[in-house]
Amino acid sequence: MGPARMISQRTDAAPDAFARLMALGRPLVMGILNVTPDSFSDGGHFFDPAVAIAHAEAMAAQGADILDIGAESTRPYGGAKPVTAEDEQARLAPVLPAAVGLGLPVSIDTLKARVAAWALDQGAAIVNDVWGLQRDPDMAPLVAARGCPVIVMHNRDAADAGIDIVADMVAFFTRTLAIADAAGIARDRIVLDPGIGFGKTPEQSIVCLARFGELKRFGLPILVGASRKRFIDSVAPAPPLERIGGSIASHLKAIENGAAIVRVHDVRDTVQALRVTAAIDRAKGP
């Protein structure tokens, strides 16, 4: 797929669907589907296409607003094996069309513009770039040409306990938004993600959750993905599959601090927590 083909087809319906979701005025739940053998919390669980499709159907039934599908582990603690674009597409091919057919906006979680373009051609609605348009030089032009929403995540090659992580995020997103502006990406198509766990110590991840509201200076919606992350283990030791309580606590706090979207593994429990929280808030009266 050459550059001209990669950016040629505009994704007209996707931004409208995303805009309608954002206009609901409530926090959105993004369900995670890893079709990988080596993701940090559920690697291999959904590598079989039939199992992956069944999980996507379950998350939709449980109340997910968006499905986020990735075929290359970007786990923040190292050790994940790089995957070629061809292998990524081969993993996605039996799953992505079925997920799109469920009627929810589908986000493609990939580092590669080539894979993102292919996924958009298959009906994906959103690009989720864990390097915030700063790794693949073709990603920003692709997003601009397609007109699709993009999630841009803060990332670092390695954690540095000596830095002010929030100041680092501000500098990172300033660069990302300059890249987006130069490419012609509309600001109302951009969502910021502080990248909990990525290039951060557990302590810095906690600081990010406490202070990510400082990113509101950019005037953009914020997505938080704290689900099953290692910082939970640093506070209340537990393996990834037993971090649901810490995940929900983190996401409720994130929403209290202004998050518009939470990216989660445990959709049913998160949706239940959000609905109960909303009911309690309504009962307070005007």
Amino acid 75: pLDDT: 57
| Tokens (6 digits) for 54 | 């069944």
Domain presence at residue 11 = no
Sign of CA dihedral 184, 122, 117, 8: negative
Domain presence at residue 255 = yes
- Rounded to 5 degrees, what are φ and ψ at 191? -120, 135
Look at phi and psi of residue 112 and say left if phi exceeds 0, alpha if psi is from -120 to 50, else beta.
beta
| Tokens (6 digits) for 16 | 């409208």
- Catalytic entry in 263, 268, 282, 284: 263
The Cβ of residue 188 has, within 10 Å, a number of other Cβ atoms equal to 13
Question: Across-strand partners of 33?
Answer: 69
Residue 200 designated active-site: no
Domain presence at residue 227 = yes
Residues in the chain where the model's pLDDT stays below 50: 12-15, 42, 77
Domain presence at residue 1 = no
Amino acid 78: pLDDT: 53
Domain that holds residue 41: 22-283
Domain presence at residue 204 = yes
10 touches 147 (CB < 8 A): yes
The total of structural domains in the chain comes to 1
The rounded distance, in Å, linking the Cα atoms of 286 and 281 is: 10
The rounded distance, in Å, linking the Cα atoms of 273 and 279 is: 10
Domain presence at residue 35 = yes
Domain presence at residue 13 = no
Looking at the whole model, is its pTM more than 0.95? Answer: no
- Catalytic entry in 75, 112, 146, 229: 229
Q: What is the CATH number of the domain that holds 83?
A: 3.20.20.20
Domain presence at residue 6 = no
Sheet holding 106-109, edge to edge: 190-193, 150-153, 126-129, 106-109, 66-70, 28-34, 261-264, 223-224
> Residues 159, 75, 236, CA angle at the centre, nearest 5°?
75
Amino acid 79: pLDDT: 55
Side chain identity, residue 80: A
Amino acid 17: pLDDT: 82
Amino acid 44: pLDDT: 57
Q: Would you mind telling me the total number of residues written for the chain in this entry?
A: 286
